[in-house]
Amino acid sequence: MVRTAFNRARKAALVTGQNPATDIELRKVPRRAPAFLELHEVPLVLAELSDSDRRLIATALYAGLRKGEMFGLRKRDVDIERRLLMVRRSYDRESTKGARDEAVPIATALVPYLQEALEAAPGALLFPRPDGEIRTEDDKLGKRLRSALNRAGIVDGYLHLCRRCKRKGTPHEEKHTTAGGAGARSAECFCGKALPRRFRLHDTRHTTATLLLAAGVDLYAVARILRHSDPKITFETYAHLVPGYLHAQIDRLSMMATAGETPQPQPPEQPARAATADFAAPVLRDDAIGAKGRSMLQKGARTPRAWIGAPGRSRTCGPRLRRPDDACPGSSKASQPLATTRDAAGLDSRQSQVFASFTEDSADRLRTLLSVRDVAAYFAVSTKTIYALCAQGKLRHIRVLNAIRIAPSDVDAFVFTRRG
């Protein structure tokens, strides 16, 4: 408030210099959920109000108007035939909070209340005071609304005071949700006092938004009815009241828990796992195998991904792999695995790569191959070491597209050669 006043005074050339309130940290005000009435509580409240207040509260509930906007309404602002209510003023000011004239649709349930107000008002004002003058901010409509809530039984509970204990000088009180709940003590010595609900006149505007959202109205329509300058205000204030909001997302936890309790079918074990579980086991000592290598032997080799490429050129062609285009003839089928090995003399595998037919036997063979990471984990070394062994021709390998795959038998042969 002080910052705004100083800025406006500086714009009006009344003061000069820097705003002294600029560097002050603002106190964070906790944002509480808006209070509102349930649908069945609306007729109960209206029945406890006087005729003049009933028309005002009905307009606040069914049109979502602010206090000053209701008090500033004129008779000519009401169009019953077109069911439109023009909001142009706030109290006696010729502008609203949004500084623009807006039309609010009139609900069917609000029509009889507006017709009564048009007939009962003697002058140009729609909701004047008993003397015909315009209502001001000092009008205690909110207090009269809370009294009507108490008479309708819409309270937060009841405070029961024991008259007998009070006479003895030891006051005793109990809080209950109903008027007759006096606990274990005798109800005859208790007198109940209603605990009023914390409800402001502006909460009737929250009630309008809540009931509209409960009826399935979208947030953008609610923002237009409430005349918010930015739909983001409507979303941040009332999004949690939308039916089903975030429920589908939070229910995924239940789905995950249910899936965890239900046993999942296990895929059939591949014969290749039994074959690779003990490869090179007779020639390797346990102390030469790392922890990752032992776990790999127990679980079996990782299944390589099958590649299904686009028709045409092979992925191993191109300047990045230093291979001429004529070495990779085009194919009308999908890319196929390459049957390529490195001989003991260390010839470059890229020079001996040829296309192989992709049969069912080839797919079974691919499942038995190990990746560089698998072999590195088995020997408890880095993948860089395995790549170096392949580049030096010491470890036989196969290239599948642009990836190196090693057969368990080649690992067995490498270990046997090194130990020999």
Confidence of residue 180 (pLDDT cuts 50, 70, 90): low
* pLDDT band at 284; cut points 50, 70, 90: very low
- Which CA distances in Å does 86 have to 61, 63, 75, 126, 265? 16, 11, 10, 12, 65
Decide the pairing of beta strands 398-400 and 403-406: antiparallel
* Angle formed at CA 171 by CA 166 and CA 177, multiple of 5 degrees: 110
Please check the confidence at residue 356 and state whether its pLDDT lies above 50: no
Q: In this predicted model, which residue has the larger pLDDT, 87 or 241?
A: 87
d(CA 361, CA 205): 73
Nearest to 336 by CA among 378, 304, 305, 306: 306
- Residue 313 identity: R
Return the pLDDT at 193: 77
| pLDDT value for 279 | 33
Residue-level pLDDT at 233:
87
Output the pLDDT for position 266: 52
Which amino acid belongs to residue 124?
A
67-124: pLDDT as tens digits: 999 999 999 999 999 999 999 999 988 888 877 888 999 999 999 999 999 999 999 9
Question: Identity (one letter) of the amino acid at 354?
Answer: V
Instruction: Provide the pLDDT for residue 315.
Output: 42
pTM above 0.95, yes or no: no
Could you tell me which residues come within 8 angstroms of residue 186 by beta carbon, excluding any fewer than 6 positions away?
A: none
Query: What is the band of 218 on the pLDDT scale with cuts at 50, 70, 90?
Result: confident
Quick check: 203 pLDDT over 90? yes
Q: What average pLDDT does this structure show over 139-150?
A: 94
| Whole-Å CA distances, 251 to 160, 248, 274, 285, 295 | 42, 5, 41, 51, 36
Which residues does residue 338 pair with via DSSP β-bridges, in sequence order?
Answer: 355
Residue 383's contacts (CB-CB under 8 Å, 6 or more residues apart) are 372, 373, 376
Continuous segment of H or E residues that includes residue 84? strand 84-87
- The whole-number pLDDT of residue 232 equals 85
* Residues 265-286: b if buried by 16+ CB within 10 A, e if exposed: eeeeeeebeeebeebbeebbee
Averaged over 13-17, what is the pLDDT? 86
Report the pLDDT value the prediction gives residue 51, as an integer from 0 to 100.
94
